[in-house]
């Protein structure tokens, strides 16, 4: 399976992010500051991220989960990860936007674009490069990346380790 590697270009002509409607709110969980996952964010994956952050599994800082909610209803979620084993192409101050999910009932409301812009605002600092990795056949994901100011910089693949992609890496084969 071919993978596309997008990198944020702050000088790119990206569409302006939408405005957060007043009935929605953004919640950001960062284990290095808030500790254990809060209520509503205690899924298996966040326990894994918390353990990885606490054990020094990331090369840098900046892990965060951003959620857009209406009351307690989750409408959108994305995760921002610093460099770690699965992303060997990233530098120590780089961050990667991933695990992007929007509730089917909340799609086509530009919540993903809003969340990516919020991640840039909250987590970007001088020298931070943001990455976005998507399967080559995931056209919606590529369109989201481009609309947020990312440009395609490389192609590559997802490797397997011990027979599973879960333990594999995202490897760049060619810069474009």
* 17-33 exposure pattern, b = at least 16 Cβ within 10 A, e = fewer: beeeeeebebebbbbee
The stretch 85-114 carries a mean pLDDT of 95
CATH number attached to the domain at 2-175:
3.40.630.30
* Residue 105 confidence class, pLDDT cut points 50, 70, 90: very high
The stretch 125-130 carries a mean pLDDT of 88
The stretch 58-84 carries a mean pLDDT of 95
Could you give the C-alpha distances from 78 to 127, 131, 154, in angstroms and in order? 22, 13, 22
The whole-number pLDDT of residue 166 equals 65
* Residue 1 confidence class, pLDDT cut points 50, 70, 90: confident
The stretch 51-63 carries a mean pLDDT of 91
What is the per-residue DSSP string for 91-116? Answer: -TT-EEEEEEEE-GGGTTS-HHHHHH
Q: Is the pLDDT of residue 43 over 90?
A: no
* Residue 17 confidence class, pLDDT cut points 50, 70, 90: confident
Report the alpha-carbon distance of residue 151 to residue 164 in Å, rounded.
29
pTM comes to 0.92
Q: Is the pLDDT of residue 160 over 80?
A: no
Smallest CA-to-CA distance from 176 within 5, 48, 54, 16 is with 5
The whole-number pLDDT of residue 161 equals 79
Q: Is the pLDDT of residue 165 over 70?
A: no
The stretch 132-150 carries a mean pLDDT of 96
The whole-number pLDDT of residue 44 equals 86
The stretch 55-77 carries a mean pLDDT of 94
The whole-number pLDDT of residue 127 equals 81
How high does pLDDT run on average in the chain?
92
Domain spans of the chain, in order of start: 2-175
């Amino acid at each position: 399976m071919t993978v596309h590697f997008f990198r944020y270009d702050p000088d790119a002509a990206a569409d302006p992010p939408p405005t957060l409607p007043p009935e929605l709110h953004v919640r950001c969980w960062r284990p290095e500051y808030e500790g254990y996952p809060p209520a509503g964010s205690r899924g298996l994956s966040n326990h894994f991220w918390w353990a990885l952050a606490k054990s020094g599994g990331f090369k840098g800082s900046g892990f965060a989960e951003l959620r857009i909610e209406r009351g307690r209803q989750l409408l959108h979620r994305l995760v921002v990860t610093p460099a770690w084993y699965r992303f060997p192409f990233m530098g120590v101050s780089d961050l990667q936007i991933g695990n992007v999910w929007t509730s089917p009932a909340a799609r086509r409301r530009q919540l993903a674009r809003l969340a990516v812009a919020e991640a840039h605002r909250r987590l970007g600092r001088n020298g931070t490069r943001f990455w976005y990795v998507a399967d080559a056949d995931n056209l919606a994901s590529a369109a989201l990346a481009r609309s947020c100011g990312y440009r395609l910089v490389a192609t590559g693949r997802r490797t397997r380790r011990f027979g599973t992609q879960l333990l594999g890496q995202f490897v760049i084969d060619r810069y474009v």
